[in-house]
């Protein structure tokens, strides 16, 4: 699923109290714990490669909070390949607390002004804040138009992050000085969608919060004087936190640090959970663990689900080949269960970049250079080609063609460790229109029939294609289906605005409304009278 992209990842770190040096802190001491942030962001780089940045807090400098952010991957933004420039950055932004962010644009433009964290300068310390945001606000257009109805208001960017900046600023306006839990309670009442937030202000107060449905993941840990949080547990584990100290923030919960005191509080009640199932099957690092479920174990279970429904005759020339890299766990488990080899018939060039950030022509061209088929592995073989999912199909078409023409495979049977993607995502995954999706036009009244899968296989140039049924996902992730967001495979959204946007997307797909290729939720600005 290399043509699909998540939106963002967030991280936070804070030296609370105690000795200047703890086992997890850098040798420079508590006031330079911000040095750990680039390392954390590297571990969640999979969640966003368009830009990166951090904001640090230091009570001993004039800029109490200060932000560094640029377009590029973490290693570029923080100059990790140049020791002198990295040290200069770390010295300039040294602080006892930091929040960080990696971004890809599902909303707004691809330029530096959209990079996060977003910092809001103010004379009063509690109103001078910076925050990072992972997710998507589905009632963005409604909130935007409400703000712009006041002629004194102005929005510089087409992004829901700026909407949040405005909402937070309004909660802090006048003589207001709400506690973190009061602020988040008031913000949550106004928004529909998915979010995790990390906020830091010039008083040194910090909080991280997770939406009441828990759509986006957020993990945290406390050991001695050090607190840290991140979108994925692997960032905390690699920092040195013990596995038993790492836990997932519950939906509707937040961790706040005020005056050096840390509290875990609930700011919103949740009637149900709606964890994004894509986290386990694709987005998250395979070493991560979220909401009590290991990513690797879930992907392994998906492979076993694939094996259970396999009907192709198996012989000594049958091999399983994963599409690198996130399909490997499922492919290996499928092969082991079937008793056939799992071989690396495709070698990934790790230096070509991510294909989904390009237009369709560039995406196809780069997909060709991204994967190299190995003829000595594939020639004359019946290949069970395992992929995480097929979204737009560009990459899969290229792979099937190259495996057949260059790899000289005898047969190619595509096996997808996910049900068909039939509906857009409005919660932070870059697939917002039905027209861009591969599967919907083949389904008969929404049903995945044998005939539909045969037609899809022919379209891709494969000998056969098989998807997993929807019920396989809950079994593999080990959640009740009612605790997962499966909107993109069922068309049933966990929030009211998400369901409304789906109706808009359906109307657009039927040709009732022209969108000129725009994302469903990027409606034109309301024109003022």
Q: Is 3 helix (H, G, I), strand (E, B) or coil?
A: coil
Among the listed residues 235, 224, 232, the one whose alpha carbon sits nearest the alpha carbon of residue 262: 224
Question: Would you call 480 helix, strand, or coil by DSSP?
Answer: coil
* Residue 251 to residue 196: CA distance in whole angstroms: 10
- Among the listed residues 418, 470, 421, the one whose alpha carbon sits nearest the alpha carbon of residue 302: 418
Q: Tell me whether residue 219 is one of the annotated catalytic residues.
A: no
For tokens 């309301």, name the residue. Answer: 526
Separation CA 182–CA 341 (nearest Å): 56
CA 236 from chain center: how many Å? 17
Q: What is the DSSP letter of 470?
A: T
Q: 433: which 2 tokens?
A: 């229109």
**Cα–Cα distance for residue pair 379/116, rounded to 1 Å:** 47
Radius of gyration of the chain measured on its C-alpha atoms: 23
Q: What is the dihedral of CA 259, 265, 269, 273, to 10 degrees?
A: 120
| SS (HEC) of 103-160 | ECCCCCCCCHHHCCCEEECCCCHHHCEEEEEEEEECCHHHHHHHHHCCCCCCCCCCCH
Nearest to 168 by CA among 182, 156, 155: 182
Burial of 271 (0-12, 13-18, 19+ CB in 10 A): exposed
Collapsing DSSP states into helix, strand and coil, what is residue 207?
strand
From CA 427, how far away is CA 413, in angstroms rounded? 32
> Around Cβ 83, how many Cβ atoms within 10 Å?
9
Number of Cβ atoms within 10 Å of the Cβ of 405: 11
Spatial distance between the Cα atoms of 255 and 262, rounded to a whole number of angstroms: 7
Positions marked catalytic: 8
């Amino acid at each position: 699923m290399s043509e699909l992209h998540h939106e963002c990842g967030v991280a936070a770190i804070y030296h609370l109290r105690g000795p200047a040096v703890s086992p997890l802190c850098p040798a420079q001491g508590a006031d330079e714990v911000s040095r750990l942030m680039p390392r954390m962001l590297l571990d969640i780089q999979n969640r966003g490669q368009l830009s990166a940045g951090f904001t640090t807090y230091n009570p001993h400098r004039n800029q109490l909070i200060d932000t560094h952010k640029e377009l590029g991957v973490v290693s570029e933004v923080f100059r990790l390949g140049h020791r002198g420039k990295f040290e200069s950055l770390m010295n300039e932004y040294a602080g006892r607390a930091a929040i960080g962010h990696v971004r890809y644009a599902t909303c707004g433009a691809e330029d530096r002004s959209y990079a996060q964290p977003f910092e809001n300068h103010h004379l009063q310390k509690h109103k001078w804040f910076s925050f990072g945001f992972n997710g998507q606000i589905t009632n963005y257009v409604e909130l935007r138009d409400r703000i712009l109805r006041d002629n004194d208001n102005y929005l510089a960017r087409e992004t829901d992050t700026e909407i949040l900046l405005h909402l937070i600023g309004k909660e802090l306006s006048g003589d207001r000085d709400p506690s973190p839990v009061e602020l988040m309670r008031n913000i949550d009442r106004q928004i529909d969608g998915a979010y995790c937030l990390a906020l830091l202000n010039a008083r040194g107060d910090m909080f991280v919060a997770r939406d009441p449905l828990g759509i986006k993941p957020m993990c945290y840990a406390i050991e001695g004087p050090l607190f840290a949080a991140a979108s994925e547990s692997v960032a905390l584990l690699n920092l040195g936190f013990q596995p038993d100290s790492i836990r997932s923030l519950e939906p509707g919960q937040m961790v706040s640090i005020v005056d050096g005191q840390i509290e875990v509080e609930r700011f919103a009640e949740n009637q149900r959970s709606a964890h994004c199932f894509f986290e386990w099957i694709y987005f998250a690092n395979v070493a991560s663990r979220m909401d009590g479920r290991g990513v690797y174990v879930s992907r392994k279970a998906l492979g076993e689900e694939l094996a259970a429904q396999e009907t192709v005759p198996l012989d000594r020339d049958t091999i399983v080949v994963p599409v690198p890299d996130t399909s490997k766990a499922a492919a290996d488990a499928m092969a082991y269960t079937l008793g056939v080899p799992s071989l690396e018939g495709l070698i990934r060039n790790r230096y070509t970049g991510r294909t989904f950030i390009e237009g369709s022509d560039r995406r196809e061209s780069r997909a060709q250079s991204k994967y190299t088929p190995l003829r000595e592995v594939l020639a004359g073989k019946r290949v069970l080609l395992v992929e995480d999912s097929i979204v737009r199909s560009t990459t899969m078409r290229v792979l099937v063609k190259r495996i057949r023409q260059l790899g000289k495979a005898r047969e190619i049977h595509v096996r997808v460790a996910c049900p068909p993607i039939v509906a857009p995502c409005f919660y932070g995954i870059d697939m917002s229109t039905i027209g861009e999706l591969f599967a919907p036009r083949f389904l008969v009244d929404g049903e995945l029939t044998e005939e539909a899968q045969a037609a899809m296989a022919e379209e891709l140039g494969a000998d056969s294609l098989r998807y997993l049924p929807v019920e396989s996902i809950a079994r593999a992730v080990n959640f009740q289906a009612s605790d997962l967001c499966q909107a993109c495979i069922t068309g049933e959204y966990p929030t009211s605005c998400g369901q409304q946007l789906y109706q808009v997307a359906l109307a657009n797909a039927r040709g009732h409304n022209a969108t000129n290729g725009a994302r469903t939720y990027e409606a034109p600005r309301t024109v003022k009278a």
